[in-house]
Amino acid sequence: MEADLNEYLNGKFNIEPKDIRTYSPLTLAYIGDAIFDVVIRSILVNKGNTPVNKLHQRASQIVKAPTQAAMILALMDELTDEEHDWYRRGRNSKPHTKAKNASTMDYLEATGFEAVMGYLYLTGDMDRICELVTHGVDLVGLDILS
């Protein structure tokens, strides 16, 4: 049985689902950033008890903009047309914040990556999120899945 967290939460809080096309790419990036963080933290935590400061350091290295940018660029040939469209829209959006520890280009690429994650989450496709994360961390050489 596939779990759809967004659908579950909508049901619990009596929220009517919205048409994904009504969301801005920055809104998708906002939720996509959180979902990517939860996925990475879940992988790290579920590998066994580890001091929290080590968990935080490891997660921070993965969820930062330069790593997300590297992942999406490595995955580009594997994106569906619709995922590529959401990536492009996210990357080309005009964020109202500046990158703290990343180049502007990495920040924009990461925003595109997060928009794809948000799109997949809101459409209930956690399997695809996991597929992209699994392949992405492998392609950029992150050793978190072994």
Highest mean pLDDT among 51-55, 80-84, 97-101: 80-84
Give dist(CA 94, CA 88) in Å, integer.
12
SS3 state at 103 = coil
pLDDT band at 5 (very low <50, low <70, confident <90, very high): confident
pLDDT of residue 94: 83
pLDDT of residue 131: 97
Can you tell me the mean pLDDT for 40-69? Answer: 93
pLDDT band at 2 (very low <50, low <70, confident <90, very high): low
Positions annotated as catalytic residues are 33
User: What does pLDDT average to over the chain?
Assistant: 92
Q: Angle formed by the axes of helices 104-122 and 81-91, to 10°?
A: 140
pLDDT band at 3 (very low <50, low <70, confident <90, very high): low
The two structure tokens encoding residue 3: 């779990």
99 has pLDDT over 80: no
Lowest mean pLDDT among 21-30, 41-50, 95-104: 95-104
Angle at 40 between CA 29 and CA 87, to 5 degrees: 30
The dihedral through the CA atoms of 73, 35, 23, 99 has a sign that is negative
